[in-house]
Chain A
C-alpha cells in the first residue's frame, strides 16, 4: 500500500495537466474547423471529426492507463523488439498499405488504420535510449556516433521511400537529444551554418551576391587575423566551398520533384504562386492574421469555416486557433507548449538513470520539433511540411503516438526511484 501511495505521488501531474489542456483545446478547435453553420451538429456527433476525435481521446486515455499500470521494466526490455517490429512494418507498408495521393502511409483493416511512421518515433526513441544507456557509450567517439545515427537513419530512409519527407524530417530532431548526451558541439555549429548557407543561397535570387558577401567576409578575416599562409589558404578554401555549395544547392533544388521545389521556393516568396503552391501559406497566414488580438470569437472564423485553409483540422489546426482566439489564444497555446517542454527538461534532468533521461530528451526533441515546425509553417516561417501539431491535430495515429511517447516518459519518471535502486 505504501508503495502505491508513493507511486501516485511521484507522477508528474503538471505535465499531465498541460497535456490534458492541450488535448481539450485541440478538440474544441477541431470542432470549430469542421463546424458548418448551415448544418449545425453537436461537437459529440460521431459523423464529424470532433466526434471521432473524442473516440481517439477516449482510446488514448485507455492507452495511458495501460502504460501507467504496466511494469516499468517492460519498456526497456521491449525497446529493441518494438523498434524491430516497426521497422518491419515500415518495410512492408508499401506492399500492404493503402495509397493516398501517391503516398502509402497507413496500414490496417477497414476503417482502423495506423501510420507506422508515427509509432516508429517512440520505438526509435526507446531503441536509442537502450543503445545509449550503457556507461561505455561515448558520443565523442565516431563509433558510437555512427551507431546512434544508424538507429535514427533506418526509419528515416524507410519513411522517405513512402514518401513522407515531413515525417522523416522529424527524426532529425533526435539530434537535440544527442546534443544533450554529448555530441560534439562543432557538429551543430557546422550543421547550423550549413542550414544557414542553404537558406541564404535559396533565398537570395542571384548567388553572385552571396559569393561577393562571402568573399568580403573572408577578406576581412584575412586582413584582421594573422597573415600566415596556412590560415589564408584554409580561409580561401572555406570560402570557395561555401560558394561552390551555394551554387550546387540551386542545381539540386532544380532537380527536386516539382512539388517539393515549389514548397521550398514559396517559403521565400509566397506571392510567387498565391493560388497554387503558395495557397496553403497565403490562406493560412490570412486566417491567422485576420484573428487580431482577441480573435473573431469561437465558431466565428470565416477563413477556416469556409475551407479557405486546406487540411485545417489536421496540419493547419493552428489556423483555427489563430483566427478565432487571436494572438491571446496563440499566446496561451505557445506558452503551454513551452511550459510542457521546459517541464520535461526538468523531469529528464532529475532522472537518475541514463535510459530514462535519454528517452526523456527524445520526447522533448520530437515534441519541440513538431511544435516549432508546425506553427512556423502556418505563419510562413518554414516551408509547408505535412506534420501535425502534437495533441492538437485531428487523427488517431498522431494523438496516440504522441500520447504513448509522452506517457512512457511520465511512467519512467514516476518510477525513477525504483529505476535508480535497480541500477544501484
Chain B
C-alpha cells in the first residue's frame, strides 16, 4: 500500500527544487528591477557641484561672485559634548537651541548628518574652526551662495533659485535634479548654460546605515566638476551706480548703449532692490516681500515696460519718409492745428523745423503722404497697403518685436499692421483718419525703453545697430558671445538721410531740452512725452553724444514726471557727462534731478 509513497516524496522534493529555481530565475534573470534597486541601495551618487561662473563689469570690477557659507552638521550618534555650557559659549548658541536642534536631528536620523547651526559666516567659522576637533560627530559643510559686492543692476543680473518642477520637466537634457539652483532671470537666466559649469559626480558605496564604504570601482565612473565660465558684462558699474542714484525714489528706466557695438553700458530699472536679498536662506521670504511690493521692484522696466513712443517717433517717421522719397529736406507743411494740436512755433515748417519744433500737424500730413500713395483707387485698400509697406520699414528699426537682448523676459512692444485695425473696425472699414495718431507716435503703438535706446544708437550710427547685449566676453573670449550680437543690422535707410536728422536733434536740445546741454559736448536728442491715461504723463528723452563721434546712446523714462524736457532730459544729460567725462561738474543739475520735483 505504501510502495508509491517514496516515489511521491521524491516527486515532491523535485517539485520543490523546480519551484524554487523557477522563482529564482524570475527574480534573478527575468526581472532586472532588483539590480536597479540594489544599485540605488548601495551606490550613492554624490554630486560635486561646480562653482558658478563670476560676472565682471566692463572695467573688470566684480559684479557677482560666490560667497562661501558654512553649515555645522551633527551626526547625533557620534556627537559627544562634555561641558554643554562651554559648548554653547564657543558656538554662540543657547542651551535650549542646542537641545531642541539635537533632539530634532536625532529624531530624523541618529547616523545621518543634520544641520546644527546653519549659515555660519566666514569670520565666525574661523573662530570656531579650532574647537571642532574637541567634539566628535561634528563637521562642517561648505556651500556657496551668490553674492553682490555692489548692490547694483539687480534686475539685469537676475537671480538664481531652486529649479521648478515645470522647468525640470522641460529639461530634455536631464541635466538638472530636484533641488538644483538655476538662473531664473536676467543674465543668470540667459547664460545659465555657461555659468553653471558641469556637475561632477562621485559614486560612493554606502552600507545600510549610509556610512561611506569607499568609492565604487575605485572611482572608475567618477567625473570631476568643471567650474562655470566667467562673464564680462558690458555694464559700466560706475555709470550704472550713478544712474541708480539719480533714479532713486522715482519710477522709470535708463538704458545706455555704446552705439558702435550695441553693448549696454547701463540698464537701470527704478525702483530696484538689493540683489543680495535674493540669495541664500532668505530667498523665499524676501522674494515674497519684493513680489508683494506695490512699486514692483522685480519688474524689469527697461525691457518689460511698454509705452507709446510719442514725439520721438517723429524721427523715425522723418527717416522713413525721406527713404520713401515722400519727404525731402525741403518738404514744407503748414502747422494746421485743425488737424491735431501743436504748440506755438513759426509756420509753415520744413523737415528740419518740424523735428526741431516737434510739429504735430507736419507729421499728420507727411504720414498721410506716406500711407496713401494712391496705389489703389479704393481709399480703404490704399490705406491698408500703405500701412503695411510703411510698417515693414519701421520694423527694421528694431521695433515691434523683442531685440533679443541677453536677459530673459524681454517684451517686444508693437507696431500695428492692417490686421490689428481689421480686427478692431472690420476689413475695409478704416482709413487714414482712423490711424493718423501713429504719425506722432501715439495710438496702437508701444515700445520698450530698450528699443528707444536702440533707436538713439541707430540715429548715432546713421542707419545700423548691433542688437543690444549685456555680456561682451565669455571666459575672456569676445567671440564666444552669441553670434547675433556680433551681427550688424541695417535699418534700410541711406546714411546721408541721417545728417539732417542729427543736426535737427542737436538743435532740438536748445529748443525743447535746454537743461540737457553740456558745455563742449554736442548732444543730439529728442524729447518725448508718453501719454498716460492713468495719471501724469511720462517724461521721455533719447539722445546720443558726442554728435561727431557718438560714444553713448541713451533713453530715459521717468514715469509721471510730465514733459520730457525736464526729468528725462536732465537725467540723460548727467549720464552722458558721467560716462564721457567720468565726473559730473553740473552739481546744480544733479541736485535738481536728485530732489526730483519736476512738475
Chain A interface residues toward B at CB < 8 A: 37-38, 176, 179-182, 283, 285-293, 302-303, 305-308, 322-323, 326-327, 330-331, 334-335, 337-338, 341-342, 345, 348-349, 364, 368, 371-372, 375-376, 379, 381
A293:B2 contact, CB within 8 angstroms? no
Q: Give every chain B residue within 8 A of A292 (Cβ-Cβ).
A: 28-29, 32, 35
A302:B41 contact, CB within 8 angstroms? yes
B20:A372 contact, CB within 8 angstroms? yes
A176:B9 contact, CB within 8 angstroms? yes
Q: Give every chain B residue within 8 A of A372 (Cβ-Cβ).
A: 16, 20
B331 on the interface (CB 8 Å rule)?
Answer: no
Q: A327-B24, A334-B20 are in contact. Are A180 and B41 (CB under 8 A)?
A: no
Q: Which of B14, B20, B209 has the most chain A CB atoms closer than 10 A to its own CB?
A: B20
Q: How far is the CB of B513 from chain A (nearest CB, A)?
A: 74
B143 on the interface (CB 8 Å rule)?
Answer: no
B21 on the interface (CB 8 Å rule)?
Answer: yes
Cα-based distance from A77 to B214 in the complex (angstroms): 59
Q: Give every chain A residue within 8 A of B213 (Cβ-Cβ).
A: 37-38, 305-306
Q: How far is the CB of A305 from chain B (nearest CB, A)?
A: 8
Sample (30) of A-B pairs whose CB atoms are under 8 Å apart: A37-B214, A179-B5, A179-B9, A286-B34, A287-B38, A288-B28, A289-B33, A289-B34, A289-B35, A290-B34, A292-B35, A293-B29, A302-B39, A303-B38, A303-B41, A306-B42, A306-B207, A306-B213, A308-B42, A323-B38, A327-B24, A330-B20, A330-B21, A334-B21, A342-B10, A345-B9, A368-B16, A371-B16, A376-B20, A381-B23
Cα-based distance from A326 to B12 in the complex (angstroms): 25
Question: What total of chain B residues lie within 8 Å of the partner, measured CB to CB?
Answer: 39
Cα-based distance from A305 to B39 in the complex (angstroms): 13
Q: A180-B6, A182-B1, A182-B2 are in contact. Are A330 and B28 (CB under 8 A)?
A: yes
B21:A331 contact, CB within 8 angstroms? yes
Q: How far is the CB of A373 from chain B (nearest CB, A)?
A: 10
Q: Give every chain A residue within 8 A of B214 (Cβ-Cβ).
A: 37-38
Q: Give every chain B residue within 8 A of A179 (Cβ-Cβ).
A: 5, 8-9
Q: Give every chain B residue within 8 A of A302 (Cβ-Cβ).
A: 38-39, 41-43, 205
For the A-B complex with A286-B37, A379-B24 known, give 11 more contacts whose Cβ atoms are closer than 8 Å: A176-B9, A180-B2, A286-B41, A288-B24, A292-B32, A293-B28, A307-B209, A308-B41, A341-B13, A345-B10, A371-B16
Q: Give every chain B residue within 8 A of A326 (Cβ-Cβ).
A: 28
Q: Give every chain A residue within 8 A of B16 (Cβ-Cβ).
A: 338, 368, 371-372
B27 on the interface (CB 8 Å rule)?
Answer: yes
Q: How far is the CB of A55 from chain B (nearest CB, A)?
A: 27
Q: Give every chain B residue within 8 A of A38 (Cβ-Cβ).
A: 213-214
Q: A302-B38, A306-B206, A308-B208 are in contact. Are A322 and B13 (CB under 8 A)?
A: no
Q: Give every chain A residue within 8 A of B209 (Cβ-Cβ).
A: 307
B28:A291 contact, CB within 8 angstroms? yes
Q: Which of B5, B17, B35, B207 has the most chain A CB atoms closer than 10 A to its own CB?
A: B17
B287 on the interface (CB 8 Å rule)?
Answer: no
Cα-based distance from A334 to B24 in the complex (angstroms): 11
Q: How far is the CB of B348 from chain A (nearest CB, A)?
A: 90
B20:A286 contact, CB within 8 angstroms? no
Residue of A nearest to B31 (CB): A289
Q: Which of B6, B25, B35 has the most chain A CB atoms closer than 10 A to its own CB?
A: B6
Q: Give every chain A residue within 8 A of B34 (Cβ-Cβ).
A: 285-286, 288-290
Q: Give every chain A residue within 8 A of B33 (Cβ-Cβ).
A: 289
B17:A337 contact, CB within 8 angstroms? yes
Q: How far is the CB of B337 from chain A (nearest CB, A)?
A: 84
Q: Give every chain A residue within 8 A of B35 (Cβ-Cβ).
A: 289-290, 292
Cα-based distance from A348 to B2 in the complex (angstroms): 14
Q: How far is the CB of B254 from chain A (nearest CB, A)?
A: 59
Q: A180-B5, A302-B38 are in contact. Are A289 and B28 (CB under 8 A)?
A: yes
Residue of B nearest to A376 (CB): B20
Q: A37-B214, A289-B27 are in contact. Are A338 and B6 (CB under 8 A)?
A: no
B27:A379 contact, CB within 8 angstroms? yes
B17:A334 contact, CB within 8 angstroms? yes
Q: Give every chain A residue within 8 A of B205 (Cβ-Cβ).
A: 302, 306
Q: How far is the CB of B593 from chain A (nearest CB, A)?
A: 66
Q: Which of B327-355 contact A (CB under 8 A)?
A: none
A338:B14 contact, CB within 8 angstroms? yes
A327:B25 contact, CB within 8 angstroms? yes
Cα-based distance from A345 to B19 in the complex (angstroms): 20
Q: Give every chain B residue within 8 A of A306 (Cβ-Cβ).
A: 42, 205-208, 213
Cα-based distance from A168 to B41 in the complex (angstroms): 34
Cα-based distance from A372 to B20 in the complex (angstroms): 8
Residue of A nearest to B8 (CB): A179
A285:B2 contact, CB within 8 angstroms? no
Residue of B nearest to A182 (CB): B2
Q: How far is the CB of A285 from chain B (nearest CB, A)?
A: 6
Cα-based distance from A292 to B38 in the complex (angstroms): 12
Residue of B nearest to A292 (CB): B28
Which of B28, B42, B43 touches A322 (beta carbons < 8 Å)?
A: B28
A345:B13 contact, CB within 8 angstroms? yes
Cα-based distance from A335 to B42 in the complex (angstroms): 31
Cα-based distance from A302 to B23 in the complex (angstroms): 22
Cα-based distance from A306 to B6 in the complex (angstroms): 44
Q: Give every chain A residue within 8 A of B13 (Cβ-Cβ).
A: 338, 341-342, 345, 368
Cα-based distance from A290 to B37 in the complex (angstroms): 8
Residue of A nearest to B211 (CB): A306
Q: Give every chain A residue within 8 A of B31 (Cβ-Cβ).
A: 289
Cα-based distance from A376 to B13 in the complex (angstroms): 14
Q: Give every chain B residue within 8 A of A335 (Cβ-Cβ).
A: 17
Cα-based distance from A338 to B34 in the complex (angstroms): 27
Q: How far is the CB of B9 from chain A (nearest CB, A)?
A: 6
Q: Give every chain B residue within 8 A of A322 (Cβ-Cβ).
A: 24, 28
Q: How far is the CB of B281 from chain A (nearest CB, A)?
A: 31
Q: Give every chain A residue within 8 A of B6 (Cβ-Cβ).
A: 180, 345, 348-349
Q: How far is the CB of B214 from chain A (nearest CB, A)?
A: 6
Cα-based distance from A345 to B206 in the complex (angstroms): 46
Q: Give every chain B residue within 8 A of A181 (Cβ-Cβ).
A: 2
Q: Give every chain B residue within 8 A of A283 (Cβ-Cβ).
A: 41
Cα-based distance from A103 to B16 in the complex (angstroms): 31
Q: Give every chain A residue within 8 A of B5 (Cβ-Cβ).
A: 179-180, 182
Residue of B nearest to A296 (CB): B38
Residue of B nearest to A327 (CB): B28
Cα-based distance from A379 to B430 in the complex (angstroms): 81
A303:B9 contact, CB within 8 angstroms? no
B20:A379 contact, CB within 8 angstroms? yes
Cα-based distance from A186 to B10 in the complex (angstroms): 19
Q: How far is the CB of B19 from chain A (nearest CB, A)?
A: 8
Q: Which of B199-228 contact A (CB under 8 A)?
A: 205-209, 213-214
Cβ-closest 4 pairs across A and B: A289-B34, A290-B38, A306-B207, A302-B42
Q: Give every chain B residue within 8 A of A307 (Cβ-Cβ).
A: 207-209
Q: Give every chain A residue within 8 A of B14 (Cβ-Cβ).
A: 338, 342
Q: How far is the CB of B556 from chain A (nearest CB, A)?
A: 63
Q: How far is the CB of A313 from chain B (nearest CB, A)?
A: 15
Q: Give every chain B residue within 8 A of A285 (Cβ-Cβ).
A: 27, 34
Residue of B nearest to A349 (CB): B6
Q: How far is the CB of A343 from chain B (nearest CB, A)?
A: 10
Q: How far is the CB of B207 from chain A (nearest CB, A)?
A: 3
Q: How far is the CB of A279 from chain B (nearest CB, A)?
A: 9
Residue of B nearest to A287 (CB): B38
Cα-based distance from A372 to B207 in the complex (angstroms): 29
Q: Give every chain A residue within 8 A of B20 (Cβ-Cβ).
A: 330, 334, 372, 375-376, 379, 381
Residue of B nearest to A361 (CB): B9
Residue of B nearest to A348 (CB): B6
Q: Give every chain A residue within 8 A of B208 (Cβ-Cβ).
A: 306-308
Q: How far is the CB of B596 from chain A (nearest CB, A)?
A: 64
